[in-house]
Structure 1
């Protein structure tokens, strides 16, 4: 994803695009605080909707089909719900994450 920029006609303002256009629609959203060593589900699961995870603080290990993807603060990942997936905090600090459920 892109780096932080100052949009035109903005002052003392930095923004970073997390994700472009997403087909479907937002079903719900939530904020999660995941302690070190926490996460889930175990075992990984699937479902009909997708997740957009935005990492606010800390880092997340997102497991998709057995592959671990590390996502850091100010980054996001779109997780296809039809693929086996789970979310874990393998760091020593608290993970703060926003989850947006997207109807696919």
Structure 2
């Protein structure tokens, strides 16, 4: 599996770092985005950042004029000051962890 490693003294164990220090964690949640699901419908901004971690499926993060695709086992940090929204990018369900972090 791409970018996964077996840490020292581990057996049948694969790990992949998804993020490092990105700020103080405010809260976190898990989301199930069904086909066509996501939001908010209009791009929005706020003071905190979002760290999106895709567990399964594929997410499409819309940023003021840019689109980023985030695959399973990947993460993406969204600057809360940039207008954004997040959407399911597949026909099935996408499962994501969303962590809100204070901007540095």
| TM-score over 0.5 (shorter chain) | yes
- C-alpha distance in structure 2 between counterparts of 1:76 and 1:29, whole Å: 14
| Pairing 1:21–2:12 present | no
Q: CA RMSD in A?
A: 1.0
- Alignment partner, residue 9 of structure 2: 9
- C-alpha distance in structure 2 between counterparts of 1:54 and 1:35, whole Å: 16
- TM-score, normalised relative to structure 1: 0.94
Structure 1 position 44, deviation (Å): 0.5
Where has structure 1 moved over 2 Å in runs of 4 or more?
none
Equivalent residue runs for 1:14-93 within 5 Å? 14-22=14-22, 24-93=23-92
Number of corresponding residues: 102
- TM-score, normalised relative to structure 2: 0.94
Unaligned residue ranges in structure 1 (runs of 5+): none
Structure 1 position 19, deviation (Å): 1.2
